[in-house]
């Protein structure tokens, strides 16, 4: 049995099924993403029934004990990963394909990367961001291999990210300055980036769907 590792976490296997508990750990272990929450979903139950009726196979298994947990088939692994996030979904797909079809997957992801690069170039021109700024660590992936991407944390104001710009405007407002004009520009800028981020997410999903259809067609030949 070939070992499956996702983001340095080894995924246990049992009778051809994969541990959702290990996947949960790999995804960050947030309570809202607990396997029990996923398994309760109506769409999850519908998918389980569809797999059972179409393929006549056991697609879930629960093991009791400290080393137990919920084990599911690959289709449910994909569904669970997508439920968590598009990013984790892609990481899971890459991990599986690295085991079974690494050459084809590399070529397909390179094509998707080309589509993304075109969109990033458009965004750079649209928002007039200097390329050297976009190439700073806050705008590239952790491995440094993927194209630069506008980072929403620069405009966020949450517990995870504090926007320096928003902080400065708030300080000026407290000191009695009228910051209504730059504040309106700040909000418009943030909304534009949110819209751009959604557009890129849509492109990503469409590219994934094309990729899945291509893989399914190749697998049925």
Q: pLDDT tens digit string along 139-180?
A: 444 444 444 444 444 444 444 445 667 777 777 778 787 877
Cβ count near 9 (within 10 Å): 17
- pLDDT-derived band at 133 (thresholds 50, 70, 90) equals very low
Q: How far apart are CA 32 and CA 188, in angstroms?
A: 31
Residues 107 and 182 in one domain: yes
Q: Are residues 110 and 201 in the same domain?
A: yes
**196 vs 217 pLDDT, higher one:** 196
Q: Is residue 83 located within the same domain as residue 138?
A: no
Q: Do 161 and 126 fall into the same domain?
A: yes
Cα 9 to Cα 221: distance, rounded to the nearest angstrom: 33
Would you say 89 and 82 are in contact if contact means Cβ atoms under 8 Å apart? Answer: yes
- Picking from 73, 100, 127, the residue at the C-terminal end of a domain is 100
Domain boundary among 67, 100, 133: 100
Domain co-membership, 106 together with 95: no
| Helix/strand/coil for 17 | strand
**Are 84 and 21 in the same domain?**
yes
Encoding tokens for residue 90? Answer: 């892609």
Residues 113, 216, single domain; the answer is yes
Q: Of 100, 129, 150, which residue sits at a domain end? A: 100
What is the domain range of residue 142?
102-220
Under 8 Å between Cβ of 88 and 72: no
Shared-domain flag, residues 70 and 50: yes
Whether pTM exceeds 0.75: no
- Strands, sheet with 13-14, edge to edge from the N-terminal-most edge strand: 13-14, 17-19, 69-72, 60-63
| Domains: count for the chain | 2
User: Does residue 1 have a pLDDT over 70?
Assistant: no
> How far from each other are the two terminal CA atoms of the chain, in whole angstroms?
25
């Amino acid at each position: 049995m070939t070992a499956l590792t996702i983001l340095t976490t080894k995924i246990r296997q049992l009778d051809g099924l994969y541990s959702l508990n290990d996947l949960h750990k790999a995804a960050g272990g947030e309570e809202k993403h607990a396997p029990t929450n996923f398994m309760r979903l109506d769409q999850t139950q519908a998918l389980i029934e569809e797999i059972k009726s179409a393929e006549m196979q056991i697609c879930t298994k629960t093991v009791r004990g400290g080393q137990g947990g919920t084990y599911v088939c690959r289709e449910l692994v994909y569904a669970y990963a997508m439920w968590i996030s598009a990013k984790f979904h892609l990481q899971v797909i890459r991990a599986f394909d690295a085991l079974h079809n690494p050459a084809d997957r590399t070529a397909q992801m390179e094509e998707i990367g080309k589509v993304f690069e075109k969109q990033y170039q458009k965004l750079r021109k649209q928002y007039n961001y200097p390329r050297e700024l976009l190439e700073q660590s806050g705008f590239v992936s952790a491995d440094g291999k993927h194209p630069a991407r506008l980072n929403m944390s620069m405009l966020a104001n949450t517990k995870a990210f504090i926007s320096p710009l928003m902080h400065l405007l708030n300080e000026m407002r407290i000191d009695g300055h009228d910051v209504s004009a730059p504040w309106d520009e700040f909000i418009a800028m943030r909304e534009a980036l949110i819209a751009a981020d959604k557009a890129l997410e849509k492109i990503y999903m469409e590219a994934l769907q094309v990729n899945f259809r291509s893989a399914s067609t190749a697998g049925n030949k």
